[in-house]
Amino acid sequence: MHKVQIYDTTLRDGSQGEGVSFSVEDKIKITQRLDNLGIDYIEGGWPGSNPKDRDYFQRIKNITLKNAKVSAFGSTRRAGIKVEQDLNIQALLAVSVKTVAIVGKCWDFHVHNAINTTLEENIKMIADTVAYLKQKGREVFFDAEHFFDGFKHNPQYALATIRAAAESGADAIVLCDTNGGMLPLELQAIIQQVRREIDTPLGIHAHNDAGMAVANSITAVQNGIQQVQGTINGYGERCGNANLCTVIPNLQLKLNIPLITQAQLQGLTELSRYVAEMANVIPDERQPYVGSNAFAHKGGIHVDAVNKNPETYEHVQPEVVGNRRRILLSELSGKSNILYRSNENNLGLEKGSENIKLILNKLKEMEYDGYQFEGAEASFDLLVWKSTNRYKPLFELEGFRAIIEKHDDDGMHCEATIKVRVGDKRVHTAADGNGPVNALDAALRKALEQFYPQLKKVKLVDFKVRVLDGKDGTGAKVRVLIETKSEKKTWGTVGVSPNIIEASWMALVDSFEYGILCEENSKALKEEYKELKHKV
């Protein structure tokens, strides 16, 4: 199979997606992460369009990259002016990068209705711009915008546009499915015809409006395309761009095309989540390869088979892309699910243990009452711990009170008081908060941190409330899911009650207790290791 380049446009095309925005500092950090992954080209932005992108190019020139070339994006010269007079072109030359991507119109409909010029002038705009940038020593990629739609409506003109770019010296011509509506077989037929007409290396830039961006990118490579453009997590306008987190492993693991090293491929999941964090976007749990559900198993029959041989229900090993296998727990679970989770987290259950059956029955009863453990594995681990002799209560609640006040001309005031017993000591604390749950959180921390200082490193990062049966209105039972994070890990806990404060309290207590137990167990394991090492 031929050599394929990966061209990342997360920082430009990806940032055009709704809700996605990167600061200059974000873009610098993401560039370095993409470089570490082994990406060939990183499109940093459009220096002719905004000061932020110009600042990025000014800063990135002082950073040494090991693998990637940084590319600047721009458009062909405007109609009716000389290329050297076009400020957009001069902005491209003003930045330090040696690679530029130039977008030009290839659909006659757009020439008439978007840039309002003649078909002949548009071809001159393409030829002049590519030739000028080549004269200035730049590597030039021509992004043939709307090429496939243009080809379907007027193949002769679409071919004339890319022929002009090729004859002017373009290093690659990137065929763009800008509206994202192509299907793989029609895309394949067009690429085959283009390859008969054009000798210049070709690339693919696919959007996902028909859900085909990855499929079209793979099809393009199978038909001789040498450059694939896309974004991390598929970010981009409308439905997004081709998702490189799917494209890269598909090409490397399925088509055996060497793109990056095995070690770099193992960083793919981490990169996906890092970029999502930078974009302030919740990661897509169902994303192939890198999503948290990509290797999650729920049905008891599935889990039993996976325990015997993971290939029964996994097309690749999760570790290859830096992900991990997850065994979900629900009313569909079997004993295999519980035993796998126990072994994974050193919970102390043994195969054939009577406790497994008791836990499974309890799990099904709790799910019937509205609990859900798929996002609250920590609450399940506590359930297992409580079924064994290893569990000892860390604290006992004697009572709590939450007071909420609202005055006509003032904001909300929330205060919580808590009475807990830790060993033989009774603690009574109070704290204010932005709301009743925040106040309870603060009061419980105040009570427990003197006994368990590790709670200072534990913080709540997400809080979700789900109404379980809307027909009861405001009296409906609710499920509260809390996500908590420490320096080392993240975990979820759950509480269910018709009272939202009680449900929140249940999830909050599980969250604290799990954080403390994990720390205590970690210390115990370290002590066991030290003792073993001393004996050896």
pLDDT > 90? residue 375: no
- φ, ψ of residue 480 to 5 degrees: the values are -110, 125
64-78, 140-154, 322-336: least confidently modelled range: 322-336
pLDDT > 80? residue 233: yes
Q: Say what the pLDDT of residue 334 is.
A: 58
Distance of CA 179 to the CA centre of its chain: 23
Q: Say what the pLDDT of residue 317 is.
A: 96
Helix (H, G, I), strand (E, B) or coil at 533: helix
- How far is residue 235's CA from residue 230's CA, in Å, rounded to a whole number? 9
- φ, ψ of residue 409 to 5 degrees: the values are -110, 25
Name the residue among 311, 262, 319 with its Cα closest to residue 290: 319
pLDDT band at 1 (very low <50, low <70, confident <90, very high): low
Q: Are residues 331 and 183 in the same domain?
A: no
Q: Are residues 20 and 48 in the same domain?
A: yes
Q: How far is CA 338 from CA 127, 169, 305, 329, in A?
A: 65, 62, 14, 7
3-class DSSP string for 108-126: HHHHHHCCCCCHHHHHHHH
Q: Are residues 381 and 451 in the same domain?
A: no
138-152, 251-265, 341-355: least confidently modelled range: 341-355
Is 448 contained in some domain?
A: yes
Is 290 contained in some domain?
A: no
Q: Say what the pLDDT of residue 406 is.
A: 80
Q: Are residues 68 and 206 in the same domain?
A: yes
pLDDT > 60? residue 86: yes
Q: Find the largest Cα–Cα distance for the chain.
A: 89
Q: How far is CA 241 from CA 150, 211, 238, in A?
A: 19, 10, 9
Q: Are residues 423 and 508 in the same domain?
A: yes
- How far is residue 70's CA from residue 83's CA, in Å, rounded to a whole number? 23
Q: Are residues 239 and 110 in the same domain?
A: yes
pLDDT band at 333 (very low <50, low <70, confident <90, very high): low
- Model pLDDT for residues 94-114, shown as the tens digit of each residue: 998 999 999 999 999 999 999
Of 386, 412, 435, the residue that ends a domain is 386
Q: Say what the pLDDT of residue 219 is.
A: 98
Q: Are residues 322 and 365 in the same domain?
A: yes
- φ, ψ of residue 256 to 5 degrees: the values are 55, 35
pLDDT band at 353 (very low <50, low <70, confident <90, very high): low
Number of H helices, E strands in the chain: 18, 16
pLDDT > 70? residue 488: yes
Q: Please compute the mean of the pLDDT values over residues 128-137 and round it to a whole number.
A: 98
Is 205 contained in some domain?
A: yes
Q: Please compute the mean of the pLDDT values over residues 30-43 and round it to a whole number.
A: 98
Vertex 24 angle, CA 20 and 28, to 5°: 100
> Who has greater pLDDT, 308 or 343?
308
Strand locations in 261-335 (E): 296-297, 326-327
Question: pTM of the prediction?
Answer: 0.75
pLDDT > 70? residue 145: yes
- How far is residue 92's CA from residue 531's CA, in Å, rounded to a whole number? 64
Helical pair 300-308 and 335-344, crossing angle rounded to 10 deg: 50
- Model pLDDT for residues 241-255, shown as the tens digit of each residue: 999 999 999 999 999
Helix (H, G, I), strand (E, B) or coil at 421: strand
Is 37 contained in some domain?
A: yes
pLDDT > 60? residue 173: yes
Residue 286 contacts residue 278 (beta carbons within 8 Å): no
For residue 478, the domain's CATH number is 3.30.160.270
Question: Taking the chain, what is the end-to-end CA distance rounded to the nearest angstrom?
Answer: 53
- Domain span at residue 430 reads 396-527
Is 533 contained in some domain?
A: no
10 Å CB burial of residue 527 (0-12, 13-18, 19+) is exposed
Q: Say what the pLDDT of residue 159 is.
A: 98
Q: How far is CA 43 from CA 10, 13, 53, 138, 164, in A?
A: 7, 9, 11, 14, 23
Q: How far is CA 320 from CA 32, 76, 215, 242, in A?
A: 21, 41, 21, 21
- How far is residue 483's CA from residue 363's CA, in Å, rounded to a whole number? 20
Q: Say what the pLDDT of residue 460 is.
A: 87
Residue 3 contacts residue 226 (beta carbons within 8 Å): yes
pLDDT band at 472 (very low <50, low <70, confident <90, very high): low
- How far is residue 125's CA from residue 307's CA, in Å, rounded to a whole number? 61
Query: In sequence order, what are the beta bridge partners of 177?
Result: 206
Count of C-beta atoms within a 10 Å radius of residue 24: 18
Is 287 contained in some domain?
A: no
- How far is residue 259's CA from residue 252's CA, in Å, rounded to a whole number? 6
Q: Say what the pLDDT of residue 344 is.
A: 63
Exposure string for 58-94, b = 16+ CB within 10 A, e = fewer:
eebeeeeeeebbbbbbbbbbbeeeebeebebbebbbe
- How far is residue 184's CA from residue 531's CA, in Å, rounded to a whole number? 61
Q: Are residues 320 and 467 in the same domain?
A: no
Q: Please compute the mean of the pLDDT values over residues 430-434 and round it to a whole number.
A: 91
3-class DSSP string for 236-258: CCCCCECEHHHHHHHHHHHCCCC
Q: Are residues 428 and 339 in the same domain?
A: no
Of 260, 288, 314, the residue that ends a domain is 260
Q: Say what the pLDDT of residue 534 is.
A: 40
Q: Are residues 339 and 198 in the same domain?
A: no
For the chain, the domain total comes to 3
pLDDT band at 476 (very low <50, low <70, confident <90, very high): confident
For residue 79, the domain's CATH number is 3.20.20.70
Query: In sequence order, what are the beta bridge partners of 323?
Result: none
Q: Are residues 124 and 146 in the same domain?
A: yes
Q: Are residues 54 and 197 in the same domain?
A: yes
- How far is residue 30's CA from residue 11's CA, in Å, rounded to a whole number? 8
> Mean of the per-residue pLDDT values for the chain?
89
The single-letter code of the amino acid at 57 is: F
Is 276 contained in some domain?
A: no
Is 391 contained in some domain?
A: no
